[in-house]
Structure 1
Amino acid sequence: MVTLATVDTGNVSPRVSWMLPIRLLAEHLRPVARALETGPVPSQHSSEPTAADLGTSCPLPSDIRDFTGRESEMADISEEIEGADGFPIVQAVYGMGGIGKTTLAVRLAHRYKARYPDGQYFIDLQAHTVGVDPLTPEQTLRTLLRATLGHPSKEGSTLPELSSVWQDVVRLGRIIVVLDNAESFDQIQRLLPRAGQVLILVTSRRWLEELGADGSVPRQLTVFDEDASVELFTRVVGRRRSDTEPEAVEELVRLCGHLPLAIRLKAAYAKGRPTWSLVDIRDEMAEEERTETERGRRQATPADGRLGQLRLGTAHPVRTAFLTSFRRLPEPHQRLFRLLGLHPPEAMDRRAVEALAEDGQTARAGLHVLTRESLVNEHGRSRIGMHDLLREYARGELVAIESWESRRQASGRLIDYYLAVALSARQVQLPARPVSDTAELLHPQLPDVSSLAPSLQWFELEHQNLLGCIDLAAQYGHTSYVWRLPRAMGMYLSLSSNSKDAIPRYERGIEAAKASDQRAVADLRGLLGDALRAEGKQDRSLAEFRAARSLYIGLGDTVSAADMLTRGSAPQRTIEGPEQSVASCLQAIEEYTSAGDSFGSAEAEYLLAMAARLDGDQARALGHLRRALDLYQDSAFTAGEARCLNLMGVIQRLGGDYTTAIGTLEEAVHLYRKAHDNRGIAHAVNNLASAMALAGNLEQAIGIHSEALERFQKYSPYGYPDALLVAGDLRSRQGDHAAAELKLQEAVRLYRPMRASFGEARAHLLLAATLRQQGRYAAGASEAVEALNFYRNAGNETGAAAAQRELETCQAGLEDASGND
């Protein structure tokens, strides 16, 4: 074995003078040179080094002037380096191409140059260089030994001998070595120090988990957050220009997927076009994104897309980075990567990947490799994510290589998996109204959604993927899924009050089902009626319920036909009046009774209770509520129980029994939370805050009411003015009448297009009191008259009496004020 202890003589390079006592240099170096000469040595110089080059190969690249981000990683790695006095240290980072691994390693090397003064070296191990094979351990050792010991003569030596010399080099000197772009642990294993004060920084796209055996666990680098992305773009393009168009910068970094290399390229592109606005640059890239999406829908071969926009002259560094990772995969793993381009953009469950790949074992093995190669990333144990630009690249490979039929079959397996889970989850949400549908394929591995909470959590987690699968079904001609998926999602969309997503999907499903499945059309029309009602579009809502009822009658489904009467009674009351609404509910009860359907009867009894309360007949309302509560309990429908208790609490509050009302409403909130009914929670908390304020617990009421406002804004804009009524009342009770006035005026404005007469009447009544308390008696009287007219037209004697009292109080105040004048 050749070591520095056994060599005799030689000439010394300046770079090695620190390693050996001066008097030993001449006798030690020549045999080292002889030991290092087997075959040509790769060089980062364009030609063989001359005498002037000795000791200068593998120079550390210049530091990055506009370096930003990575504060957390820098701090963690710096802490380990600074705590390793007298010991060798290896630090590794890994991640997808373009994530900034090399930039971070070079910044760290420059930071610690003074700590390791005897040399700083950088070598590209060529794991992902187009047209170049990765360096072998022998090539790497020769290159590094030439850098540290000077240019050797050419004589043979073995890999163990080279490694032994290298270990002496790192043992005797304080140096930094950046091993960039490593392919594998085997490639770098013999370069890792066993002793000495040396810092080795390793970068790789692959997770080199073997390093963890010695405590050098690689750190994964992920994309920048928005702040770091904007800062990087700004440092490249210039702060003055960036600060004038901040929204364009934010959109540009989003289009770059927050990938540092992509951001740097796009910023450089913008800097080279000083006459273009950043909005112009953004619009150009956004148009490519839209084109990419549209071509994907037609399944045409993608154009350049966003990847094509990320260029440097004629080169495409981001695309090339992806290509070099992709081409190193075995074909089965390449195919899995391509197929992942079919999946909607959100993170996916591993079981969805198994459905996509058709073979679970192939999917599991492939995901392990793709994760290790940083082509996908793990989101916990069971979920996988993929960067937007990698997904675009995968789609390009998919369309270029996979046939139309292959893509269609794979998309069908994926969509059917999501339908299978959605149907299982839907059945536990409303067992009394099951959806008559089953998945077409056998899926051996499905998530557990056998109880309410997991079923709703699954829908919330997979919401965007389900919507994406509806689009995917349309793209590949899986027409039945265009209506089957939104129908399976219906209960969840209703509970989450997500009418914005629901309405266009229901409308699209209706059009897709018209020619072949009238039951699906009826089901979706009923769901569309619910969503339109939640949006305050009462006319269209009632029309959809009636169209659905006609279809159900034609199909001989009397229970579903009766459901359309009950669900349509709320918009019917607004449009046609309370008598017609009540008549529909009574007719529905007759139809439910004939069919022996207790759940439907519970729904109708509850709606009759609502109508009685609005008519001012609280005793009749409580009777309906008690019957509905018993029927809901028999049907094990928790949300229905909560609904009854919520209305009971309101009636108790109106009757002045605040203590009982608070207890009832607290139970309603509890049951709504158990049922995960966001809209119901908002209503119950709103009513609870009102009851607490009336009971004198003003601070407690204000404390809980913010939740109602937030939930209404997020889940039920139609109910938001109800929360504004309570907010106005709370502010008025605090003595902040000006703030109360603003809340109540906003409530009036929101109620008016909804044609919600009782809500608007209550808003006018509270506004009258608020104005009166400010001494504005004439304005208060005017608002009281508005409230009075609403209540009289609705036949609500209780409300009319309250409005009359407020009017008289305002008029008295006006007379007193006139008398004092």
Structure 2
Amino acid sequence: MEFRVLGPLEICSDGRTVPVRSGSQRALLAALLLSANQVVAADRLIEIIWGSAPPNSAEANLRTHVSALRRLLQASGGGPSPLLTRPGGYLVQVEPDDLDLLAFDALVREGRRALREDQPATAVRRLSRALALWRGRPLEDVVLHGDGDAEAARLAEVRLGVVEDRLRAKLLSGDLADVVGELSGLVVEHPLREPLWALLMLALQRSGRQADALAAYDQVRRVLADELGADPGPELRRLHQQILTGDPALTAAPEPPPSPAARCDLPGDLSDFTGRRREVGRVLADLAPARGDAPSAMLISAIDGMGGVGKTALAVHLAHRLADRYPDGRLLIDLQAHHPVKAPLSPSDALEKLLRAAGVRGEQIPPSEEDRAALWRATLTTTRTLVVLDNATDSAQIRPLLPGAPGCLALVTSRRRLGGVDGAQHLSLDVLPRAEAAALLEQIVDDARPSREPDAVTELLALCGHLPLAIRIAGSRLRNRTTWTVAHLTDRLRDTRRRLTELRAEDREITAVFSLSYQCLTAPQQRLFRLLGLHPGPDIDAEAAAALTGWPRSTTEDLLEDLLDVNLLQQPQQGRYRFHDLVRAYAADLVAEDPDTTAALTRLFDHYRDTTATAAALLAPAEREQRSSEPGASFTGPDHALAWLDTERANLLAAAAHAADHGWPGHVRDLSGALARYLNARARHTEALALHTAAWSAARRHDDPVGAGHALHDLGRVYFFLARYDEAVQHLELALHIARRVADRTGESHALNGLGYALWRLGRHDEALTHLARACDIAEALDDQIGLGYMTCALGGVHNDAGRPADALVHLERCVALTDKTGDQFTRGNALGLLAQAHDHLGHHTTARNHYREALATSRAIGERAAQAFALNGLGETATATDSPTAALTHHQAALSLATEINDRHEQARAHHGLGNAYQALGRRQEARPHWYEALTLYTDRGAAEAARIAHILAT
């Protein structure tokens, strides 16, 4: 089976053409053939086939296309399919003779070698055979996106370079007539390609047509002036002068002498360079104007990123990919922004190095920076030169080094975002995605261990933060220690105290990379960087960072932006900052010896405690009574406060855990109390259990019985919301015991209230009423209006469940009136739902529906999700009672979805119960029974009294 890409895409088998009719499958095959015998990552294939906006099902579609194409190739070839699946991607395995592109590359290598070895006749034969393989524009009948399209365009440029080499070989062979004729057509097709004009002038001169050679020079000079406003380059100018003077070297020399700038300083491309397909494709797309013959401006691509992310490797890889477009030189200079010993190069010193590399003699280089920059730009005028400016300090350092000439390209790398470079295409390099990181590790280790331990590989990559340098070091350690498993190295890296020291191999270590960035910071930037290493949460805003430093917010925010500019911080969203995990570890090591750590953490915990208390007070005024802190940040209202708590939740919980473990018991106690209502409302019950348990442990360690009692009460409430009522009773009874022992009357009333709720759900109505009555007595004695609201709400709920809706109305109407005074929206939302339920039991369905709607709106406004599920179920029950079972289905389904999401098993059971009733009302009993059975299971699991009612329904 033969494949052809140098023209329309073709597959030939036994002399017949195999059709591939699907456009996506044609693009898939083309992408694999362009990288024949190499694994092409799945995400790169998706981008090549569908572009920057693939369908949501792209991965599944890709697998389907691969399967279909594999079947087609297998059926057409009569043997195993050459399309193979590999970790992270796919490849087509072909022999050089089976793909015209591989055959072309081999013939071109042979021809150019013959040309170098002064065998022009052999060179002409090889290069002619190579060009004969071309049938048109590469893959002209296939739609490719991203770097697939760029690769096809690159091949066209490669072909033109081969044409030039073949003509040069024919010129050496003395075939002047054919050369002149062919070149006369090519310069019309490519009027700005100076090497073609040079060959034409030389061929005319050698044919004895000096006047025509000089006329050709005049013609190209006018074309360049009209199109680019530039003069011919040094090669053409030198050749013109030789023709004018009849230089005998023209007859002796096989070709014009090479331009001094036609040199390559690039280091070799990494043999194991892996990934970055998306980034490479983006840069190539950004540089699309360089493909044509008339570039309008010098191109700049600025690549920034943290140390170790692979900026230089990407720049060098891109330079090699683009080398054929820049035949006049590929220069690279290290600007030494982060050198362990040397200072950064000044622009003047860098210009001297670049000018010498471009062939300018030392005595011709002027002393001033301004004159050197002017000479640098003049030297590269009309050339196509690629310059890699590696490891730049800032924009000011590189501006004088930019070539400025159309047709040139500057690739710039820096740890700083270079916003001061006008016209640059910017690429901020992030860490590798999981698939590319795994592929890099496999390439470096170069044995089967990674494939045998996929879970260990995933953890190893996470511990390396998917940072290419860290992965390279880890991979090198595995490659050099063949007895180690991936899991063994993972175990060594798991210890955060030694992770950075483990990530070193020979002369490379992660710590050194970060240290060079840190040393370039100012003293205030260094202090902020160190103190951020103390922060226990995943990210931070300017207010919290200002608390850490003790500096004004504006000053701290400016410094945060400075650290962001040099890629020591990341910004996942506006106003929020975070470390890469390994940078965090480095900052934590630095701050370990800082004398300001205790004071800084105290300021941070004060900020979180006080701001949380202020936010909680807006959502639930009861929190005002519990906090013992100063007012924190101001909020515009409950919505703002709720949004802040949602954003900071992970940080607040991390701060509380750190405070509990490292000796700030008061802060963990206050955070536990302030966050209790919010976490319950958001159904973050697992997080609440961890927080309140930490507060309880800290209170016991520091002999704080009041704090211990409050934490036990909050734990009991969480177990209540988890429908683990027996555990709720245990914790609340212990909280009650402590409150009575220390004469904490408020704590006693709240514990009694919690017990009332739990006993209510267990169907122990009389005990519940007794506890709630005692709680009310204490609240009234203390004039605790908010607490009284809790308790009257619960009293109404118990009477509802006990079948006394009229008694329930009395308590619930009193509760709603109390919330009008206190503003306690949490209790109001619950009370309105229970009030609606009481009216529903009394047959007041219209009133019930109105109260349920108000309860739903109130609960949504404050983010109280359990109350929303309760109100939705109530609307469903009211709809069923008013002969609207279809509407009931909608409400109960919404309630079930929400209750399942927040793991509220009581409302799940109630929703299934309601769905069964609604289906029964619709005459669809077979659909009703599964819901009743589910409700029975849920009610039975938690010992709820409703189980008996469901069992009775199912028995009838």
Q: TM-score range by the shorter chain?
A: 0.7 to 0.9
Query: Matches of 1:735 and 1:82 in 2, distance apart?
Result: 67
Equivalent position of 1:36 in the other structure = none
Q: Which residue in 2 is equivalent to 1:377?
A: 570
Aligned to 2:590: 397
Question: Cα deviation per residue 1:303-343 (whole Å; 9 max; x = unaligned)?
Answer: x22x23323x3334322211110112233322221111100
How far apart, in 2, do the equivalents of 1:357 and 1:102 lie? Answer: 35
1:416 pairs, out of 606, 609, 612, with 606
Q: Are the aligned partners of 2:888 and 2:915 in contact in 1 as well (CA < 8 Å)?
A: no
Match of residue 90 from structure 1: 300
CA contact (8 A) 1:529 1:544 kept: yes
Give the match for residue 42 of structure 1: none
Once the two structures are superposed, the pairs formed by residues 303-322 of structure 1 within 5 Å of their partners are 304-305=498-499, 307-311=500-504, 313-322=505-514
- Maintained 8 Å contact 2:272/2:440: no
Whether 1:216 aligns to 2:424 is yes
**Partners of 1:149 and 1:699 in 2: CA distance:** 85
Determine if the alignment matches structure 1 residue 519 to structure 2 residue 711: no
Distance 1:576 1:672, change over 3 A: closer
Q: CA deviation at 1:392?
A: 0.2
Residue 429 of structure 1 corresponds to which residue in structure 2? 619
Q: Which residue of 1 aligns with 2:86?
A: none
- 1:334-373 maps to which residues of 2 (within 5 A)? 334-360=526-552, 363-373=556-566
1:20 equivalent in structure 2: 234
* Alpha-carbon contact 1:61-1:122 (below 8 Å) kept: no
Residue type matched to 2:566 in 1?
Answer: E
CA distance in 2: counterparts of 1:757 and 1:748, whole angstroms: 10
Query: Which residue matches 2:18?
Result: none
Quote the residue 1:132 is aligned against: 342
Residue number in structure 2 paired with 1:587? 774
* One-letter identity of the residue aligned with 2:284: S
Query: Higher RCO, 1 or 2 (CA under 8 Å, sep at least 6)?
Result: 1
Q: What is the 5 A alignment of 1:582-661?
A: 582-651=769-838, 661=848
| Cα gap change, 1:649 to 1:140, in 2 (>3 Å) | same
> Aligned pair in 2 of structure 1 residues 195, 558: CA closer, same or farther (>3 Å)?
same
Task: Give 1:110 shift.
Answer: 3.4
Unaligned runs of 5+ in 2: 1-230, 243-257
**Aligned counterpart, 2:126:** none
8 A contact 2:635–2:641 mirrored in 1: yes
Cα deviation digits, residues 631-676 of structure 1 (max 9, x gap):
2223222222322332344455567776665544333221110121
State the secondary structure of the residue aligned to 1:104: helix
Higher alpha-carbon deviation: 514-523 or 137-146: 514-523
Identity %: 28
For residue 673 of structure 1, the aligned residue among 857, 860, 882 is: 860
Q: Secondary structure at the match of 2:313?
A: helix
Q: Counterpart in 2 of 1:8?
A: none
After TM superposition, the structure 1 = structure 2 runs for residues 489-568 of structure 1, keeping only pairs within 5 Å, are 489-514=675-700, 515-553=702-740, 557-568=744-755
Q: Write the distance in 1 (CA, Å) between the matches of 2:666 and 2:848.
A: 48
Range 635-644 or range 546-555, more displaced: 546-555
Q: What is the CA distance between 1:530 and its match in structure 2?
A: 0.9
CA distance in 2, matches of 1:355, 1:648: 45
One-letter code aligned to 2:579: M
Distance 1:270 1:153, change over 3 A: same
* AA of the residue aligned to 1:374: N
Shift of 1:466: 1.7
Structure 1 residue 119 corresponds to structure 2 residue 329: yes
Residues 260 and 359 of structure 2 are in contact (CA less than 8 Å); yes or no, is this contact kept in structure 1? no
Identify the residue that residue 98 of structure 2 maps to in structure 1. Answer: none
Q: Aligned partner of 2:520: which letter?
A: R
Root-mean-square deviation (CA, aligned residues, Å) is 3.6
Asked whether the equivalents of residues 64 and 107 of structure 1 are also in contact (C-alpha less than 8 Å), the reply is: no
> 2: CA distance between counterparts of 1:99 and 1:570?
55
Cα gap change, 1:60 to 1:314, in 2 (>3 Å): closer
Corresponding residue SS for 1:96: coil
Which residue identity lines up with residue 620 of structure 2 in the other structure? L
Find the partner of 2:643 among 430, 454, 457. Answer: 457
Equivalent residues of 1:473, 1:482 under 8 A apart: yes
Q: Compared with structure 1, are the counterparts of its residues 706 and 121 closer, same or farther at alpha carbon in structure 2 (3 Å cutoff)?
A: farther
Match in the other structure for 2:269: 62
Deviation of 1:593 after TM superposition, in Å, equals 3.5
**What secondary structure sits across from 2:388 in the alignment?**
strand
Deviations 1:271-299 (A, max 9, x none): 5556655444434433x2xxx2xxxxxxx
Distance 1:187 1:362 in 2: 26
Matched residue, 1:757 = 945
With normalisation by structure 2, the TM-score equals: 0.67
Secondary structure, aligned partner of 1:193 = coil
- Structure 1 or 2, whichever has the larger Rg, is 2
C-alpha separation between the residues in 2 aligned to 1:742 and 1:170? Answer: 80
Deviations 1:190-249 (A, max 9, x none): 1123332211111110122211xx232644333344455445445555797655544333
**CA offset at residue 678 of structure 1?**
1.9
Alignment map for 1:43-82 (pairs within 5 Å): 56=263, 58-59=265-266, 61-62=268-269, 65-69=272-276, 71=278, 73-82=279-288
2:473 and 2:508 in contact (8 A); partners too: no
CA distance in 1, matches of 2:328, 2:364: 26
Q: Distance in 1 between matches of 2:315 and 2:875?
A: 57
Q: Deviations over 1:607-650 (max 9, x none)?
A: 22222222233333334333322222232222223223323444
Q: In the aligned structure 2, how far is the partner of 1:65 from the partner of 1:696?
A: 71
Matches of 1:170 and 1:702, distance apart in 2: 76
Which residue of 359, 364, 384 corresponds with 1:149? 359
- Separation (CA, whole Å) in 2 of partners of 1:570 and 1:110: 72
Cα distance change on mapping 1:712 and 1:575 into 2, 3 Å: closer
* Alignment check: 8 A CA contact 2:886 2:918 kept: no
Partner Cα separation in structure 1 for residue 890 and residue 456 of structure 2: 39
The separation in 1 between residues aligned to 2:719 and 2:319, in whole angstroms, is: 61
- Answer whether contact 1:428 1:450 (CA < 8 A) is retained: no
